[in-house]
Structure 1
Amino acid sequence: MADTTIDLGACVKRLARASVLVVGDAMLDRYVYGEVERVSPEAPVPILTVTREVAMPGGAGNVVRNLTALDASAAFVSVVGDDQAGSDLTGLIGGQERVEPWLLVQGGRTTTLKTRYIAQGQHLIRADREQTIPLPEKLTERLIRIALDAVAATSITLLSDYRKGVLSDEVAAQIIAGAKSLGRRVIVDPKGRDYSRYRGADVVTPNRRELAEATGLSVDSESAIVAAAQVLLARYDFGAVLVTRAEDGMSLITADEVRHFPGEAKEVFDVSGAGDTVVATLAAALAVDVPLVDAARLANIAGGIVVGKVGTAVARPADLLAALSPVTGALRKVVTAANAAEAAERWRTRGYKVGFTNGCFDLLHPGHVHLLEQCRAMCDRLIVGINADASVARLKGPTRPAQGEAARAAVLASLASVDLVCLFEEDTPLELLKLIRPDLLIKGADYTRDTVVGAAEVESWGGSVALAELLPGHSTTATLARLRG
């Protein structure tokens, strides 16, 4: 990773103090997952047997989702229709912590809804419903008035333009002018050929294709990207152009300097929503006075994180800190619950069977190793949940655990049979199970199906429960008793 003059880890911890205004086009992203086992007799098309559906905010709503994932606060001004998608989107946005939503309702408008149908990790088709006409005059005036009030109450303004009608020339220009008059910086994630409506913005963040479309110039090399970005700087009085280049990283161009940041992703699974993550991270960092170059570096790291995940993902502070950490090898297998859930989803979309087991795993012994090897043999990827120290003490007594949670997690992570390790604070792993949704839940043969915590829940989403044989003569309690004489 490139050297930096400031502590980026400290910058990540400051993001929770960020307050960002987002104005733009809200959408609803719906994912329909299922299995395809036959072709329809009615037409040569696959039959998708639906197993589950997931809905989440899209467009500018995904920018807000990324901000809250970073623990930043957001005010969100947008427009939805008076339809079911609008109602669902309003509920999803309003259900997020640290969000002040101003979702105006326009009667008769169709809320943008993108529905993706996915089977065995393959994207079958996407169906869109949307309306992209400009807003009526009175609604436009109300939106501008609310947005300008929110500018004064936040640290930075972010315009997320998906060309669905919210950010017309008038809306964008007035918000930028209002923000500048109050000394607030403006970041724009742009669309279209004409960037004149964004004139005077502090930072614009086109991707490579959008840069070519806006300038009519080639962008097939770093030098060409710089030349095209310099045209935008001169033509529209922008403070900086940050060009996102997918897996190739980003380029930051200002009047005084050019910085190229290489791609951070070790493996690219899905670039969906990566631009939203980049602009959200950039805005949050600038809102807490991180210098532009370092804010761009953080945004580049965040973008590299999300393209390594499946679907419209987010980067969290723990993700950024892990990417900045010198920790390598087995310890990278110790993850948060949210990261474990995202990894499980990524593995499932690739057709892998995800298994889960749990325990205290205090003083790892041959019986544990035997159990974990059996668990791994039953699945393609194994996630191990371990009780945090406070949980072990409640279950085993005040003298336990013999080893702290960090040590127990590190030892487990060193085993080849274990793919991820995740701590949980509760006495049982039930909430963690609901988050990860494994295909297989495995416990030792000293349990029965009826006594396995989470068995009913796992079976409810189509998973199964298995019992692994135990290696006789090994237990942590007996080992500790022998050690104590």
Structure 2
Amino acid sequence: AINIASLGGQVRLIGLIGDDEPGRTLENLLTKHNVTCKFEHLQGFPTITKLRIISRQQQLLRMDFENGFPEFAGERLLKIYKQHLNWANVIILSDYLKGTLNNVKNLIELAQQSGSIVLVDPKQQNFTTYQGANLITPNLVELEAVVGKCPDDSTLFHQGMRLIEEHQLGALLVTRGEKGMSLLQPNKKPTHLPTHAREVYDVTGAGDTVISVLAIGLASGLSLIQATQLSNIAAGIVVGKLGTATVSLEELEHAVCEQWTPNKGLVTESALLSLAKAAKNQGETLVFTNGCFDILHAGHVAYLQDASRLGDRLIVAINTDKTVRDLKGPERPINPLKQRSAVLAALACVDWV
């Protein structure tokens, strides 16, 4: 929920907590992070609490304090769910086998009737429970517990497609740790995405990041493949942080620019604006200069090298052929715009032209 809120999404969180101090602390923290809480407070049930023991930036131990809600009937929670169905574009059902989603099949059916997209993070081995969901996001271990070992992409594809057909799923997204993730859809080739993690400090919450970024991507109008690519990049960011972490909009924008936009060279105006914004968000200093650069000589190169030392990124704007003629006469330029741009972009001291 906080992942979605940190990316600018509106999110309402429905669930069960105890009528105790941990429950009140949880609700206050979520509210501070712009999450609207719609909790049912249960008497006699403690709020589920997880304690992580960390030493020298390494998680040594996790202690869970819980009883779950095994006999929870869910009538009031179902009423809250129905009240907010028409508000949501996308619904995430995160099933941790604690009892909150004992009737998850009914929740999926109600969401379908309202026209909402349903994403499920599954924990049950009986995937019939999730029948009709638009997408489920098991990790590889969870998938193999249902279909058996998947030692290669081919086995994963065939077993995954069998699940999709049997349970009428819209798609299956399998997170595979250091192997990235695989998206399977009916009547389409599989999409295998490599991991974008540079360094892995802590994988806690990576799956939650994947499904939350998927949700906000789909709610914003992205295609499923585009939203999956975005969630893969986001997961690569959070595993580089210690503890349960979120990804910010600025971090995601910067990572997307690195992934999908050239780091150097010729760029369009819109790409330059995105790159410049991302650079500023990272605290980088931008240096801008312009000129005709018709016949590039050593003086030009020295000037540009000096300019690049003034900051972190050097942007060079170049005059069009028409403005060069206006400035230098009808016989100029000697080198047309395309050639002048290519020469400038090849210089090591120039970031973007």
* Pairing partner for 2:168 from 234, 237, 246: 237
Pick closer, same or farther for the CA change 1:123–1:409 going to 2, 3 Å.
Answer: farther
Query: Which blocks of at least 5 consecutive residues in structure 2 are unaligned?
Result: 265-275, 288-306, 314-353
Distance in 2, matches of 1:175 and 1:158, equals: 10
In the TM superposition, what is the alpha-carbon distance from 1:334 to its structure 2 partner?
5.5
Partner of residue 423, structure 1: none
Q: Give 3-state SS (helix, strand or coil) of 1:158's partner.
A: strand
Structure 1 133/322 Cα, relative in aligned 2: closer, same or farther at 3 Å?
same
Share of identical aligned residues, percent?
A: 34
Of 164, 183, 186, which residue of structure 2 is paired with 1:255? Answer: 186
Partner of 1:136: 72
Q: Does 1:279 align with 2:211?
A: yes
Task: State the secondary structure of the residue aligned to 1:136.
Answer: coil
Check if 1:174 corresponds to 2:106. Answer: yes
1:137-192 Cα shifts (integer Å, max 9, x gaps): 2xx01111111221111111110111111111x2x112111111111110101102
Q: TM-score, normalised by structure 2?
A: 0.73
- Between the aligned partners of 1:288 and 1:125, the Cα distance in structure 2 is 38
C-alpha spacing 1:218/1:112, structure 2 compared with 1 (3 Å): same
* Residues 335 and 88 (structure 1), Cα distance of their counterparts in 2 relative to 1, 3 Å cut: farther
Aligned runs of 1:272-351 on 2, under 5 Å? 272-325=204-257, 326=261, 328=263, 336=281
Task: Tell me the residue number matched to 2:324.
Answer: none
**Does residue 224 of the first structure (1) align with residue 158 of the second (2)?**
no
The answer to whether the 8 Å contact 2:52/2:62 transfers is: yes
Number of equivalent positions: 278
Name the SS of the counterpart of 1:159 in structure 2: strand
Give the TM-score normalised by structure 1: 0.54
Match in the other structure for 1:110: 46
Corresponding letter in the other structure for 2:206: A
For each residue in 1:342-400, what CA deviation from the matched residue of structure 2 results, as whole angstroms up to 9, or x when unmatched?
xxxxxxxxxxxxxxxxxxx9x9xxxxxxxxxxxxxxxxxxxxxxxxxxxxxxxxxxxxx
AA paired with 1:263? T
Query: Where does residue 125 of structure 2 map in the other structure?
Result: 193
SS in 2 for 1:116: strand
| Root-mean-square deviation over aligned CA pairs | 2.6
Q: Please state how far the C-alpha of 1:413 moved relative to its aligned partner.
A: 5.0
Choose from 141, 157, 160 the match for 2:91.
Answer: 157
| Contact kept in structure 2, 1:247 and 1:268, CA below 8 Å | no
- Aligned residue type for 2:30: I
Give the Å deviation of 1:411. Answer: 4.6
SS of structure 1 residue aligned to 2:105: helix
Identify the residue that residue 45 of structure 1 maps to in structure 2: none
What is the alpha-carbon distance in structure 2 between the residues aligned to residue 121 and residue 309 of structure 1?
A: 10
How many angstroms does 1:135 deviate by? 4.6
Matches within 5 A, 1:76-95: 76-95=13-32
Unaligned stretches of 5+ in structure 1? Answer: 1-63, 341-360, 364-407, 415-485
Is the contact made by 2:122 and 2:137 (CA closer than 8 Å) also made in structure 1?
yes
1-side partners of 2:144 and 2:89: how far apart? 31
Which of 106, 112, 115 is 1:183 aligned to? 115
What letter matches 1:238 in structure 2?
Answer: L
2:316 paired residue number: none
Q: Per-residue CA shift, 1:24-67, capped at 9, x if unaligned? A: xxxxxxxxxxxxxxxxxxxxxxxxxxxxxxxxxxxxxxxx0110
- Give, in whole Å, the separation in 1 of the partners of 2:58 and 2:31: 31
Maintained 8 Å contact 2:90/2:118: yes
> In structure 2, do the counterparts of structure 1 residues 271 and 335 end up closer, same or farther at CA, with 3 Å as the change threshold?
farther
Deviations 1:298-341 (A, max 9, x none): 11111111112221111222122111214759x999675xx89x
User: Quick check: 2:250–2:278 contact (8 Å CA) kept in 1?
Assistant: no
**Aligned CA distance change for structure 1 residues 147 and 71 (closer, same or farther; 3 Å):** same
